[in-house]
Structure 1
Amino acid sequence: MQCPFCQTPLRADAPECPACRLTFPRTSALLGALPRLSPVIADTTRLLTTADQTKLKKRIAEIERRFPQLVLQVVMHTFPAEHPFSLHVFWVFNGGNFAGDSQRGKDNHALLIALDPSRGEAAIMPGYGLETFLKRETLDHLLELAGPAWESGRWADGIFRVLEGLDQLLESVAIPDDLAGSREGEF
């Protein structure tokens, strides 16, 4: 994990960045109120058609059924250019609270796919509970695979490509039920 502002490496439990002192409250004070975000697919740019959103929601629901601890959120938004995209992604992920109040820290299994079409930038941000399984290089590779679709304005196609890659990646790191199973009296 690294600071979304200055890119200094951080521990997941660090209260603030030791280099620039960034915290979520300071980020919120800097960036202001979150945009209104719809669950699952939030497209404030209106570049996704209603049909595309319906198909994407269906695909996300399939993935979440296979991995019930997972919460997937897609956000397409035009962010102000005066701050790094990574800072905006950190702000949306933490402020959006996609996994819910009870799913914090190691229990946060949310995945945010954030796109800013006007900047030409995208990111995948995993919750702390997924970071050890989903390496930054692998997530960046999924974004690279979607790049050609996004460069030609085929936003839904690129998101589908990322979702397919995430599905395969999650399958490869999943613990089979028979190995993760509970003993009597355990959940």
Structure 2
Amino acid sequence: MLTFPRTIALVGATPRLSPVVADTTAQLRSGEAGKISKRIGKIQRRFPQVLVQVVMHRFPEEHPFPMHAFWLFNAGAFAGEGKRGKNNFALMIAIDPYRKEAAIVPGYGLEPLLKEEALYHLLEMSGPAFQSRKWELGLEVLLDGLEQLLDTVSVTEEEGVATGGDY
């Protein structure tokens, strides 16, 4: 069974990452990270509990990509040390341009709301742009879909319940 401590033993230290958009691969052209950060800022203003982190990083080939995404999300503590478990509303988008793989990892607070099928759909929508190495376009498509998905599952103060629907 894969656990966080076991994963740390396998992959080692966490890379140094910039907040919001971290590109350790230097794939984003000048200005693209800023545009993506602004788009994420718009989402976070609409949904203040949600914290979005984009990571473009080259992960070692010897371990499966989903394991790396799981490890980095937990090691990165993007929501902050005080927001763990059901209070973790962070969402990480991990992209490895060399492995040609991407993942969306929601925090435990978002997992019941964001169904795995919907997250796969967001990756499928952005896939053609990512395959063409158009990172900004792919992330725009993904973030637009994420914002729509968050709209469908957001909790209204009047109702006190999450709205739903298949994405």
TM-score by length of 2: 0.93
Distance 1:135 1:180 in 2: 20
Decide which of 61, 65, 68 is 2:45's aligned counterpart: 65
CA RMSD of superposed structures (Å):
1.2
Which contiguous aligned blocks of 4+ residues in structure 1 show a shift greater than 4 angstroms?
none
Matched, 1:161 2:153: no
- The number of aligned residues is 161
Q: What secondary structure does 2:103 align onto?
A: strand
Paired position in structure 2 for 1:139: 119
Deviations 1:99-122 (A, max 9, x none): 011111111000000000111100
| Unpaired runs of at least 5, structure 1 | 1-19, 182-187
Distance 1:70 1:171 in 2: 12
Distance 1:39 1:50 in 2: 17
Distance 1:151 1:63 in 2: 25
Which has the higher Rg, Structure 1 or Structure 2?
Answer: 1
Paired position in structure 2 for 1:110: 90
Deviations 1:144-167 (A, max 9, x none): 011110111101110111100000
Deviation at 1:49, TM superposition (A): 1.8
Matched, 1:44 2:24: yes
Distance 1:101 1:160 in 2: 28
Distance 1:180 1:67 in 2: 15
Paired position in structure 2 for 1:91: 71
Deviation at 1:74, TM superposition (A): 0.2
Percent identity, aligned pairs only, is 58
Decide which of 130, 141, 146 is 2:110's aligned counterpart: 130
Paired position in structure 2 for 1:26: 6
TM-score by length of 1: 0.84
| Unpaired runs of at least 5, structure 2 | 162-167
Paired position in structure 2 for 1:101: 81
